[in-house]
A and B are shown apart, each in its own frame.
Chain A
Amino acid sequence: MESLGTHDLEAGMRPSRASAFIPVMAITVALLFVFNSAGLVRWTQNLPPGQLGTALSDAANVWHDAMTWAGPARLFEVLKETIGVELR
């Protein structure tokens, strides 16, 4: 019976400290929130109604307005529309 496990996937791979993932996760989340702030707004719109949901939605809108004014959100929307028109 062949052995099971991710040993074959891990063979030849170098493990790291778990903490190496912290900057990866932090930078990834930051980039997503900065460029795709519209996604954050859409996410808050689907939250269950309530005070927390409203507060998060307001905050997401303020953040999205700021990112649109600063440029990254606008840049991402342009990119999305350009690619979308080409493919869909």
Chain B
Amino acid sequence: MIFPTLNFLLFYVVVWPTAWLLARARQHVLHKLAIIAASYFFYAFWNWKLAFLLFASVLLNYAAGRLIDRWRGTAAGLWTVRLAVAANLALLGFFKYYGWFIESLDDLLRSLSMARELPYLEIVLPIGISFFTFQGISYIVDLHRRDLDRSRPLIDVMFFISFFPHLVAGPIVRAASFLPQLETPPNPNRVFVGLGVMLVIWGVFKKAIVANYLAVLLVDPVFLAPSNYGAVDLLFAVYGYAIQIYCDFSAYSDIAIGVAALLGYRFQRNFNQPYRAESLQDFWRRWHMSLSSWLRDYLYIPLGGNRGGAVKTYRNLLLTMVLGGVWHGAAWKFVLWGALHGGVLALERFIYRGHDPAARIGRPLWTRVVSVLVIFHFVCLCWIFFRAEDLARAMELLGGLANWSQPVELLNLFLLALIAFGMAIQFTPDDTLQRLDRLYHRLPIWGVGVACGVALLLIEAVGGDGAAPFIYFQF
């Protein structure tokens, strides 16, 4: 089930009142059970068999949490943490990298004239496995670090890992920030309805209009056969992809945050106008914030962070970003994408020596504008490797950027307007949501309903039938 569909609307029309009726009746356990049941229905909609995998992940982390509590401060407790993290990663690794591993092994054995029958398996990548695995690890590590004071009952662990708004494409919710919300039923007198409604409508708009049109009319054809197009089409397809992936992924996060807010739960913010970043470090504080902070807290810092001197800091940055790249898939293009980001993050560290290059104090406007342009173009360069089918196709596209003689075939005013819009929303004032919230509270409630209905109808009319899957479903 994906968000901007009638399936999800009908699902939510049932789930939302049920959840609040139970919360108002102080039936907290039933409230949680109802949301868990809804989450498993939401997940089983794709493939009911994989719901057992989700449940297995919950059981693994719940059991490990109990043991960590029992053996806290002992070697057994520490080994439980290690084994639980390893088991989570093994689960993720098996589904994500088994096919690649067997293929690579087969190639290696053939090249050594030692070919043999290898256990090839048809493995379906369970949707959302990365996200629920990361949340499981967050539960284990937060418990171990005492960011979470104690292990939680099975029902809470199930709720935390399976909660449908974040289940398949994040935001990656932290155990320490989410589980305390399950101590008491959500307060029906204190719900951010305005925020939730605005984020949902905004998310549907970004996905159904901006991301979909850019993908269908520009990005997909260009990345399929870059050599068929000239430099202008290629260049704007790269810009278009930068906007498409932002509008696609941030749309999912916005809808997830909005849907959860309407049920009385808080998620962390996941995007904050990333293309206005003035340094790469700044970009990663604004892009997929729940993943970048997860990588920082559960990978970069355990690797040593910046505690072992300059060289080790650069190594840790590079390693973290390469692993972040490989997380997206077993392909050299993702390794290169991660290495480029890690390399430039390390370079920034080297040049600025710990000083935040995005600090605005005393910087003339023109240097900030240049910084934004440089960082945006570097991120776009990396997106080429990320989006291309493989490295050869990426190089083909890069080579084609020199071909200025070929006429423009795909780019038109509408696509230019979408790209310009996607860039303009990076620079709206920080308090835009608050202003819209004030407007929401000035409107009569029926007016809000009419505005939402009209907005969704217009999106449907402009966006057309059907909804393409979100990009991050594949990760």
Contact = CB atoms under 8 A, between A and B. Distances in A.
Contacts of A40: 6
A30 interface: yes
Interface of B: 6-7, 9, 13, 16-17, 20, 174, 177, 186, 188-197, 213, 257, 261-262, 264, 266-269, 285, 289-290, 293, 297, 414, 431, 433-434, 437, 441, 445-446, 448-450, 452-454, 456-457, 460-462, 464-465
16 contacts: A1-B297, A9-B195, A9-B269, A10-B266, A12-B431, A14-B441, A15-B190, A17-B188, A18-B186, A18-B264, A21-B196, A23-B445, A23-B448, A31-B457, A43-B7, A76-B457
Q: Which 9 A-B pairs have the closest CB atoms?
A: A27-B449, A31-B453, A12-B434, A18-B188, A4-B268, A28-B453, A15-B190, A16-B193, A28-B452
Of A1, A9, A39, which is in contact with the most chain B CB atoms at under 10 Å from its CB?
A9
A54 B318 CA distance: 57
Contact of A4 (B177, B262, B446): B177
Contacts of B268: 4-6
Interface size class of A (residues with CB under 8 A): 35 or more
A58 B329 CA distance: 45
Contacts, number: 138
Contacts of A16: 191-194, 441
A1 B17 CA distance: 37
The DSSP consensus for interface residues of chain A is helix
Given A13-B194, A13-B433, A25 B457 contact: no
A25 B13 contact: yes
Contact of B414 (A5, A7, A87): A87
Contacts of A10: 192, 195, 266
Contacts of B446: 23, 27
B304 to A, nearest CB: 16
B434 A83 contact: no
A7 B448 CA distance: 24
B15 to A, nearest CB: 11
Contacts of A14: 194, 437, 441
